A and B are shown apart, each in its own frame.
Chain A
Amino acid sequence: MKRVLLLVLMGALVGLVVGCGSSAPPVEQSGPVDAVDDMPDRSGPSEGDDGLTDEQRMVQYLESLGFETVYFDTDKWNIREDARDALKKNAAIMADNPDIFMTVEGHCDERNTVEYNLALGERRAQSVRDYLVRLGVNDSRMKTISYGEERPAAFGHDDDSWQKNRRAEFKASK
């Protein structure tokens, strides 16, 4: 994990250099607008060797942490037996990366009304957060948000899709 962080830092440095280099000649406005847009933006995020911006690299890094999604039964928010290992793993990732924060997103399937699902999704996110607290993750490093039925992972209208949608997802941030 430390190596990834180092990479991020190096990337940022390279980005800075590239940014400075491009500041010398003013951009000619005569060419097509597209060409101007392709020029490195001095004020915005800078690019490294891999063609990624710092921001993209950070997203990549945070995604590479590998949080596992957990699933719920219909109308329920209790942590299922099959979710416990995933949550242990997520707690370990939090322990290994003491500088990151986590958002627990609660989701529901499309059945139930919008409002009830927002409440149910929140309850699912909270129950996951509480479980992670018991596994030693500091409460202040976690935030919950419910999307109810608004952001499905699967778009079918059947048991299989519904199960995939009754879930808690984890998003890391710094």
Chain B
Amino acid sequence: MTIRKLAVVAGVLFCGVLFRQSAWSAGKYGEIIASIRTGVFEPYRIGVDDFIPKDPAAPEAVRQTARQISDIVRDDLEYSYLFATRAPDPEYLKVFGVEKLSLYDWEKLYVGFVLVGDVETDGTEAIILSYTLYSVHKRLKPEEISSRRIRASARELRLLAHSIADDIYKQITDLQGIFRSRIAYSHIDSVGKEIFICDVDGHMPLRATFDRSINVSPRWASADEISYTSFKGNNPDLWLLNMREGKNRRLSSFPGLNSAAAWSPDGYRFAVTLTKDGNPEIYVFSKGEDKGERITFTPGIDSSPTWSPDGKYLAFTSDRSGKPQVYIMDVDGGNVQRLTYQGGHNDSPAWSPTLDLIAYVSRGPDRRFDIWTTTINGTHQRQLTSVGDNENPQWSPDGLHLVYSSTRSGSEEIYTMDFAGQNVRRITHGGGNSNPSWSPR
């Protein structure tokens, strides 16, 4: 952004900064979510300075490491939706006639917060990182909010940077960040489909299953557990992979389908589609118990359940009207209400944990599949995608982002975007990636 553009928005931002300072000291999750819901949210403006070596004579490698960490922190915060970030653009340095921006310089760039940091090495493989968060005010002295010093392995540099972003995010918004959350997805290889897991920004992809079978619909049961449907036992059974213990066990293996598992927000129950009693119906199980409760009773397909944040309702897909549509019911199966009416095919609902929105997939008149959101009372449908086939939306734990698969690049890849369809980021490459799911924090 040029200085001229900055000047244009300066007045608005000035008020914004003052408002945000009071909001920051009050500490309020609900306030932020409410302002996002009503569309009046203004992002927190933060300047993330390039981190530098503590010792000016440090080798270039240390300078690069420091720089890389601040780049990741800035990228995380910018991605979060709650922040608008600034980097120490060379243009600013020229305008201010300095080599490094002071806190007073940063304030003139209309930020409310500034993060600075430095890196030391002690001759080992570890690095020691110090960072300080300031709030800056017009005509007032900058205030130090917090300062931390961390020693970490240089090999876990990305994780370190994400944890700094989480810390800054928490300190300013009082919300838990999502930067260390991960994304599970199915990846096709020559033998079948396996489950993979990557960081929220697509880095560090790891293979989680080695079944040489078809593994679909990974869903995080907790931060360490993923359930998925696999054909490895010659029947589509539901399996639970515990990554901490390295164990894999069958959760549900009734004859026929055991698919589309969805975990309740408290993690104690799961809803699943079974065909053991005939056609596809939804059942609710308590984790660790063999007997579930059947909650749908229709001759057609009932599938793809998703929990409301309070665990009292399920949205799901049913073709009881003749075409697949999204419905909501009480968790005991009562009080079924149809949610979607537009278009002949609406499927794959996902209930935002924070925004009272349900994302779903709709087939348009041109027969492409797009991600839409609707409010939970069925008003305000909003189309978020418009190129390729876009499927399987799942929310981030803060409810502000969606992960989904799309064929817009010609092959099937995983993307993320914010709840308004902006800030689109592709996180996989090479094709054959589908069925994503976002971990808890």
In the A-B complex, the 3 residue pairs with the closest CB atoms: A119-B280, A115-B260, A119-B303
Q: With an 8 A cutoff between CB atoms, is A46 at the interface? A: no
A54-79 contacts to B (CB < 8 Å): 75
Chain B residues in 8 Å Cβ range of A114: 186, 216-217, 391-392, 434-435
Interface pair B214/A150, CB less than 8 Å apart: yes
Q: How far is the CA of A119 from the CA of B296 in the complex (A)?
A: 14
Q: How far is the CA of A126 from the CA of B279 in the complex (A)?
A: 8
Interface pair A115/B217, CB less than 8 Å apart: yes
From known contacts A114-B216, A145-B235, infer whether A75 and B345 are also in contact, taking CB-CB under 8 Å: yes
Segment of B36-44, B66-74, B125-133, B317-325 engaged in the interface with chain A: B317-325
From known contacts A75-B324, A113-B304, A126-B279, infer whether A118 and B257 are also in contact, taking CB-CB under 8 Å: yes
Chain A residues in 8 Å Cβ range of B323: 75
Chain B residues in 8 Å Cβ range of A143: 255
From known contacts A111-B363, A111-B367, A122-B256, infer whether A116 and B235 are also in contact, taking CB-CB under 8 Å: no
Chain A residues in 8 Å Cβ range of B231: 147, 150
Q: With an 8 A cutoff between CB atoms, is B354 at the interface? A: no
Residue in chain B with minimal CB distance to A112: B347
Q: With an 8 A cutoff between CB atoms, is B278 at the interface? A: yes
Can you name 19 extra interface pairs (CB under 8 A) apart from A113-B304, A115-B348, A118-B260? Answer: A75-B324, A111-B363, A113-B347, A113-B361, A113-B391, A114-B217, A115-B217, A115-B259, A118-B216, A118-B257, A119-B303, A123-B300, A123-B301, A145-B234, A146-B257, A147-B214, A147-B231, A148-B216, A150-B193
Q: How far is the CA of A75 from the CA of B346 in the complex (A)?
A: 12
Task: Indicate which residue in A115, A144, A147 contacts B304 across the interface (CB closer than 8 Å).
Answer: A115
**B195 CB, min distance to chain A CBs, angstroms:** 13
Interface pair A144/B280, CB less than 8 Å apart: no
B142-158 contacts to A (CB < 8 Å): none
From known contacts A75-B319, A114-B435, A115-B273, infer whether A122 and B257 are also in contact, taking CB-CB under 8 Å: yes
A123-153 contacts to B (CB < 8 Å): 123, 126, 143-148, 150-151
Residue in chain A with minimal CB distance to B235: A145
Q: With an 8 A cutoff between CB atoms, is B112 at the interface? A: no
Q: How far is the CA of A111 from the CA of B317 in the complex (A)?
A: 15
Q: How far is the CA of A123 from the CA of B255 in the complex (A)?
A: 14
Main secondary structure of the interface of A (DSSP, over half): mixed
Interface pair A111/B369, CB less than 8 Å apart: yes
Task: Indicate which residue in A120, A147, A151 contacts B301 across the interface (CB closer than 8 Å).
Answer: A120
Task: Indicate which residue in B229, B275, B317 contacts A116 across the interface (CB closer than 8 Å).
Answer: B317
Count of chain B residues with Cβ under 8 Å from any Cβ of A?
41
From known contacts A75-B323, A112-B347, A116-B304, infer whether A123 and B279 are also in contact, taking CB-CB under 8 Å: yes
Q: With an 8 A cutoff between CB atoms, is B389 at the interface? A: yes
Interface pair B392/A116, CB less than 8 Å apart: no
A65-120 contacts to B (CB < 8 Å): 75, 111-116, 118-120
Q: How far is the CA of A119 from the CA of B300 in the complex (A)?
A: 10
Interface pair B347/A118, CB less than 8 Å apart: no
Residue in chain A with minimal CB distance to B188: A150
**B228 CB, min distance to chain A CBs, angstroms:** 11
Q: How far is the CA of A116 from the CA of B362 in the complex (A)?
A: 13
From known contacts A126-B278, A145-B236, infer whether A115 and B303 are also in contact, taking CB-CB under 8 Å: yes
Taken residue by residue from 245 to 285, chain B's Cβ proximity to chain A (1 for < 8 Å, 0 otherwise) reads as 00000000001110110000000000001010011100000
Interface pair A116/B256, CB less than 8 Å apart: no
Residue in chain A with minimal CB distance to B281: A119
Q: How far is the CA of A115 from the CA of B348 in the complex (A)?
A: 8
**B174 CB, min distance to chain A CBs, angstroms:** 36
Residue in chain A with minimal CB distance to B278: A126
Q: How far is the CA of A120 from the CA of B318 in the complex (A)?
A: 11
From known contacts A113-B304, A118-B229, A118-B260, infer whether A150 and B216 are also in contact, taking CB-CB under 8 Å: yes
From known contacts A75-B323, A147-B231, infer whether A116 and B348 are also in contact, taking CB-CB under 8 Å: yes
Q: How far is the CA of A146 from the CA of B301 in the complex (A)?
A: 13
Interface pair B319/A118, CB less than 8 Å apart: no
Interface pair B216/A119, CB less than 8 Å apart: no
Interface pair A119/B301, CB less than 8 Å apart: yes
Q: How far is the CA of A15 from the CA of B300 in the complex (A)?
A: 50
Q: How far is the CA of A115 from the CA of B318 in the complex (A)?
A: 12
Chain A residues in 8 Å Cβ range of B434: 114
Taken residue by residue from 372 to 392, chain B's Cβ proximity to chain A (1 for < 8 Å, 0 otherwise) reads as 000000000000000001011
